[in-house]
Structure 1
Amino acid sequence: MKPMVFVAVFFLWLSSTPWAAADPPTLVALFPKDTPAETLKAPESLRARASLEIAWWHFKEKRYEKAQKLFDEALRVAETPALRREAQWGKALCLDGLGKRDAAAALIQDLESQGYGNRNTQRWLASYRRAQSISQRILWEDRLRREALQTVESAETTSLWRFTQRNERALRRCIAPEAFFEVAKALRQKGRNEEARRLYEKVLDCATRDRLRLGVFYELLDVIPPEEAIQRIDAEHRRPGLPDSYAKDLETLKMEAYRRKLRNLPEASFETEQIAQIILEKNPTDPEALLRLGWFCYHAGRYSEAEDFFARHRQAHPHRNDGAYGLAYTFMAQKKFREAAQALDSMKPPYPEGREALVFRLHMEEGAFRWKEKDFSGAEALFRRAAAVNAEDQGPWQSLGWLFLEQGRPREAADAFQKAYTIQPTGDDAEGLLLSLERSGDFGTAHEKALEMARVENPSVQEAAGRHYLRTGKVLHAASVMKDEKNDATPWMTLQTSYESRSGDEGTSRKRTLRTPWTVYVPRSSESLWALKLGGVYLDGGDPGARPFVGSFGLPQVTKADVSRWIESAWVAFPSITFIKEGAWDFRATAGSSPLGGPVDPAPTFSLELHNPQWHVEVHHNAVEDSLLSWIGQRDPYSDRTWGRVLKAGGSIGRDMSWPDGSWLSVRLGADHYGGHNVWRNFSVTGDAAVGRSVPFRSGTLSVGGFLSASHFDRNSDFYTYGHGGYFSPSFFLMTGPTVRYRSDPRKPWWLDMKASAGYLYYETEASPIYPRDATNAKYSGDRFSGLGYSGSFRAVRLLSPQWALGVHVDMDKSSDYTRWAGGVGLTWFFEKHDSLGRITPHYDTFFQPRAW
């Protein structure tokens, strides 16, 4: 068959196929509208046309690769521009179908540049450009996400901030806002809250997805105040068209903002109650709101309401222990200790960290309550339980110590305080331990403990040791550990002048004395003191008359009388030195002599004292100062003899007791032997007892009580004939009555000590030989007295300047057959400046002590 005939037959067949009934969508449209029809119908390459027709058929069947080959073939053999453009268009569509859109776009853009484009090519290019823009945005977003992830993982604040600066344009165009959200979170975690806040707000401006906006609002809770967060959430809630789920999530987030605000409020704030109620209106079982409202009511003292909220919490959340924990506290505050214990028992493991501490507190508070109700055994049991719960807390042992002290069990109290002090040394435990040892009478152990405490580097413990020293009279020790006492332990000196008068017979029993002692006190350490005294005394007994009944008057051998031999007055001196050492037993030793001067040679004198707060032991060898005869001796006007200068040698033992309420009891027994130069020997026993109570009063201490004093002398030697001693020596003496004393606190610029006693006085004296050392039968008659006796003392000292103090004293006494009174002044000079008189000076300076008759 000839070729032309074959082609004609092919076209007839092709025109009869269904897909050839219509032209390809843009086949004719590719030619310009003004193209001549002859051109369209001009003879063309049959081969090119055949390739195009077959290519479109494969294209419609989506066999893009075969179609592309045929379009390429047509491009190669086509002789007219129209066929070439159709082939180029078809090839572009095949490339598009194969996913090679960029190559397809290049062919179509080439057609557009030739001026042969139309609506379809423009639509395709527009779609391509949109897709390309979307693709570029996706690539940009992907790049931003990857970069943000790397920046966040690097965890460098500088890198985070640089990311936001570098990609600010992308954020303005809302490209990948979630990437900036992650960077903002990282900035917040780094503590850069202000930068994070600004970035969150920018993300919020361009974020459209509800989930992302919700995340931003949630993160903003950590960088803005809860009040502002609530306002922002409310504003978001007012946006129209919100999905119900998103609105519900916003409401949940708002409640979280309220919870955070609730956490920031103090438990006692009234706003706490308001916010908690708002939360409970939305969620009546909200655990945090129930707890906070319960604690608010607890701190406000509204215990029944607190109990209700904690009970609701426990009922709604039985797996949590917080409600039971709050109930325990609330029941304890209402003294419902059994219910509190039940609440604690209802807790389930794992227990909260503070449960053991709360059990401990429950035992302690119930123990204190039982103690207050005087249920001592119950209180003791509870304190011991508390000690078993927490062996590292000294509180139970401290409470047991004070409980035992109140019950009068000082030894057990000392053991309890010792355990508390061992756990942790505190001033309270040290105070309790020392008080317990004092009340048990174990002053030796108390002193050793106080010495240890004084070396502890804890001011409160040292203060406790200092108070023990003050209670036990160890003022030197106190000055070494108490800051406000330290300046006391410095030297001082006192010069005093006093006048004393004793009633009696002129020339014999009557005595007038002027004393001018000068004493220097030198503390040598924290526990010892030296006192050096040198004094002058003027003695005046008065004129005995022309033939006084003294000395050897009336004896047969008396042949003449020289009244001038009788000493009417004299100046004498007396030195002494005293050493004092404080310790478990305080020690005092004084050595001196009877007055230097007088008709009889002086004799050494001494006294030794040993005492603690309970016992007092003393031995002495001292001059008897009742008269000139007993003190310095006399010359016999009727002979060449001298006699007198009586010394008493003996001792005493005393017992002092005191109780916590200030009551006290004191008992003393003593005995003395009296002897002197040519003086009848004598022996005496004495006893004293006093009972009373001391209470604080007007910056000092007031003591009120009663006393009894009794004594007995073997011989009555209160006469002035040769052989007698000239001192009061009744065979029986008794005085009893009330006594009162007030002493001010010495830690002031002034000091006051007033003492007065009065009561029934009775004594009687035996008949006594006129000349006890001569064989005569003549006797003095005995005497007796029954009536009022009294004694009193007044001393006042004032600090005139930091180093000078001036004092006065007045003393009087009617406790024998004589009446005596004395008055004087004293001037004290401190080596160091003082702001008060201190404690050491009033305690040891003899000027500050009541007159010992």
Structure 2
Amino acid sequence: AYIAPPLQQYPVAGAQPVAPVYAQAPQAGYPPAYVQGGGLLPLPRPGAAPADLGWNAAPRAQPPADSAAAELRELEAARSVSITAGTVFRNRAGEAGLSRLTDFEIPFEARFPVGDGKIVVGVTPTFLDAGSPAGDWATASRFGGGPGSAFTGLLNGTTAGQQNASGLGLSVGYEGKNFGASIGTTPLGFQQVNLIGNATFKGAFGDAWSYKADLSRRPVTDSLLSFAGAKDERTGERWGGVVATGARGDIGYDDGTYGFYGYGALHGLTGKNVASNSRFEIGGGSYIHLLSEPGNKLTLGLNLGIMGYDKNLSYYTFGHGGYFSPQSFVSLALPVDWSGRNNRLSWRVNASLGVQAFNQKETPYFPTDSSRNGDAGRAAAGAASLGLTSTIYNGRYPKTSKTGLAYNLAAVLEYQLAPKMYLGGSVGLNNAQDYRQFTGSLYLRYVFDGSSTLGVPTGTTLRPLVSPYTPLL
């Protein structure tokens, strides 16, 4: 389900997005979430490229009896150098060599105080595997060179080859109270490497209103083709590596009892030898605070999201991008958010259930080169004569539409092993948009000059390590 937070987040290479929980400072490379009247944020939108991350937030700390000591601990946390390292695993179900994706990353992040903000440096070894497209006609003709390459491959015994990629992602950024910016790369070593980054400004007016503006260039990580780029071994052609460039604006209101929010975004999508595309997004929702007490908070919301793409480029032949790109997508969902803290243990659980509907119009097999249809048609006729297919080739993928239930479930636990050390993990499962995805992470964080007290919030807890390129959901 398309379940957006009041102010949505966007991951960028090497920087872990964090929304304030225990009065955390915003992180570089990923626009920080607002604290809506001290309450929790509804579940974030999954998917769409960039799949956006508001999940990585938690409730604001409750003031301890000794407020002066609490302020000192917060100041210590804000001025501390910290290092976080761990592993992130993501698996997206699908067709081998095409939509299937296994993504394993080892993010490392170091944060250094500078002036009133922090410099954030990220390094992320990344390993992707999509498998190999099957050799049968029905599959081989929908990858790379299409029917022509499939027919030649069947005659010569050649295949499209194993689809995998590995590389090292880099980023550096600055995060301040109201401004954040970052610059980085998709992993060096991929078929296609892109420069990515963002600049974000946020603020508030009155006691309950908040706003945010974000300019960004981010990778589309729906598939190996869209994220890293692919190569058809039968032809030697390379294409893919899609990025979304554009702007987004958010506004929210929270008076401590209830809140509402709205957002709008417009992005252009480009990739190597991939047809250009554009995307719009609008949405909003409301939520109420069912429970708000020290160490235990619960919210319930209602969320509506709408988006659409100019072109359907969701396939894997040359010129397509391999990313979900419906011409209309509508989602209505009910998100529930529960978080809390008990001594050294912090947790957060996000869950939602909703309904979604989308339509994808028919689209050319080769959106950047219609001249390929002649050879493709002759190859398809040859395959039919050999009994390999009974489908008549018309040069276009058919239109599709779907309506159904969508679910999202995510959870994170973090335990303070020692005054300056935290161990955490997270899991996520969803079937939003047109895929099923599982994610998980395990991480360790060390704060060099943090609090010397166990079980006391210091601004450094409940910041789950997630993929720097894709959200938890």
Asked if residue 628 in structure 1 is aligned to residue 224 in structure 2, the reply is yes
CA deviation vs aligned residue, 1:337-372 (integer Å, no higher than 9, x gap): xxxxxxxxxxxxxxxxxxxxxxxxxxxxxxxxxxxx
Q: Which amino acid aligns with 2:395?
A: A
Evaluate the alpha carbon distance shift between residue 795 and residue 638 of structure 1 in structure 2; reply closer, same or farther with a 3 A threshold.
same
Q: 8 Å contact 1:757–1:791 — kept in the other structure? A: yes
Whole-Å Cα distance in 2 between the matches of residues 701 and 757 of structure 1? Answer: 16
Q: Which amino acid aligns with 1:597?
A: G
Name 1:510's counterpart in structure 2: 100
Q: 8 Å contact 1:479–1:485 — kept in the other structure? A: no
Alignment counterpart, residue 755 of structure 1, candidates 334, 350, 353: 350
Name 1:522's counterpart in structure 2: 112
Q: Which SS does the other structure have where 2:233 is aligned?
A: coil
Asked if residue 813 in structure 1 is aligned to residue 406 in structure 2, the reply is no
Alignment counterpart, residue 606 of structure 1, candidates 179, 197, 207: 197
CA deviation vs aligned residue, 1:454-508 (integer Å, no higher than 9, x gap): xxxxxxxxxxxxxxxx979xxxxx9999224233121111111121110111111
Say what the alpha-carbon RMSD is for the aligned residues: 2.8
Aligned-pair CA distance for 1:758? 1.0
Q: Which amino acid aligns with 1:606?
A: G
CA deviation vs aligned residue, 1:517-550 (integer Å, no higher than 9, x gap): 011112224x201111101111110121225230
Alignment counterpart, residue 590 of structure 1, candidates 155, 167, 182: 182
Alignment counterpart, residue 617 of structure 1, candidates 203, 207, 213: 213
CA deviation vs aligned residue, 1:13-51 (integer Å, no higher than 9, x gap): xxxxxxxxxxxxxxxxxxxxxxxxxxxxxxxxxxxxxxx
Asked if residue 501 in structure 1 is aligned to residue 94 in structure 2, the reply is no
Whole-Å Cα distance in 2 between the matches of residues 501 and 638 of structure 1? Answer: 27
Aligned-pair CA distance for 1:557? 11
Whole-Å Cα distance in 1 between the matches of residues 157 and 251 of structure 2? Answer: 51
Aligned-pair CA distance for 1:553? 1.9
Q: Give the ranges of 4+ consecutive aligned residues of structure 1 lying more than 4 Å apart after TM superposition.
A: 478-481, 556-565, 842-850
Q: Which amino acid aligns with 1:576?
A: S
Q: Which amino acid aligns with 1:522?
A: F
1:605-684 correspondence to structure 2 within 5 Å = 605-613=196-204, 614-659=210-255, 661-684=256-279
Q: Which amino acid aligns with 1:851?
A: P
Q: 8 Å contact 2:88–2:467 — kept in the other structure? A: no
1:416-815 correspondence to structure 2 within 5 Å = 482-489=71-78, 490-525=80-115, 527-546=116-135, 548=140, 549-555=142-148, 566-582=161-177, 586-600=178-192, 602-613=193-204, 614-659=210-255, 661-694=256-289, 695-697=291-293, 699-745=295-341, 748-775=343-370, 776=373, 778-815=395-432
Evaluate the alpha carbon distance shift between residue 621 and residue 839 of structure 1 in structure 2; reply closer, same or farther with a 3 A threshold.
farther
Q: 8 Å contact 1:699–1:744 — kept in the other structure? A: yes
Aligned-pair CA distance for 1:697? 4.1
Aligned-pair CA distance for 1:833? 4.8
Aligned-pair CA distance for 1:640? 2.5
TM-score by length of 1: 0.41
Evaluate the alpha carbon distance shift between residue 824 and residue 852 of structure 1 in structure 2; reply closer, same or farther with a 3 A threshold.
closer
Structure 2 unaligned runs (5+)? Answer: 1-33, 35-58, 62-66, 205-209, 374-393
CA deviation vs aligned residue, 1:782-829 (integer Å, no higher than 9, x gap): 111111101121011000112221101001121111111111211111
1:43-442 correspondence to structure 2 within 5 Å = none
Q: Which amino acid aligns with 1:594?
A: T
Name 1:851's counterpart in structure 2: 471
Aligned-pair CA distance for 1:556? 8.4
Q: Which amino acid aligns with 2:299?
A: S
Q: Which SS does the other structure have where 1:545 is aligned?
A: coil
CA deviation vs aligned residue, 1:116-158 (integer Å, no higher than 9, x gap): xxxxxxxxxxxxxxxxxxxxxxxxxxxxxxxxxxxxxxxxxxx
Name 2:6's counterpart in structure 1: none
Q: 8 Å contact 1:765–1:782 — kept in the other structure? A: yes
Q: Which amino acid aligns with 1:742?
A: W
CA deviation vs aligned residue, 1:657-702 (integer Å, no higher than 9, x gap): 112x421111111111111000011111012212011241461321
Q: 8 Å contact 2:225–2:241 — kept in the other structure? A: yes
Aligned-pair CA distance for 1:846? 4.9
Compare relative contact order (CA 8 Å, sep 6+) and give the higher one, 1 or 2: 2
Name 2:29's counterpart in structure 1: none
Q: 8 Å contact 1:842–1:848 — kept in the other structure? A: no
Evaluate the alpha carbon distance shift between residue 845 and residue 809 of structure 1 in structure 2; reply closer, same or farther with a 3 A threshold.
closer
Q: 8 Å contact 1:605–1:623 — kept in the other structure? A: yes
Q: Which amino acid aligns with 1:676?
A: G
More strand by proportion, 1 or 2?
Answer: 2
Whole-Å Cα distance in 2 between the matches of residues 523 and 845 of structure 1? Answer: 20
Evaluate the alpha carbon distance shift between residue 805 and residue 557 of structure 1 in structure 2; reply closer, same or farther with a 3 A threshold.
closer
Q: 8 Å contact 2:166–2:187 — kept in the other structure? A: no
Whole-Å Cα distance in 2 between the matches of residues 644 and 562 of structure 1? Answer: 25
CA deviation vs aligned residue, 1:284-312 (integer Å, no higher than 9, x gap): xxxxxxxxxxxxxxxxxxxxxxxxxxxxx
Q: 8 Å contact 2:169–2:185 — kept in the other structure? A: yes
Whole-Å Cα distance in 1 between the matches of residues 161 and 150 of structure 2? Answer: 18
TM-score by length of 2: 0.73
Alignment counterpart, residue 823 of structure 1, candidates 440, 461, 464: 440
> What is the number of residues matched between the two proteins?
373
Q: 8 Å contact 2:443–2:464 — kept in the other structure? A: no
Q: 8 Å contact 2:466–2:472 — kept in the other structure? A: no
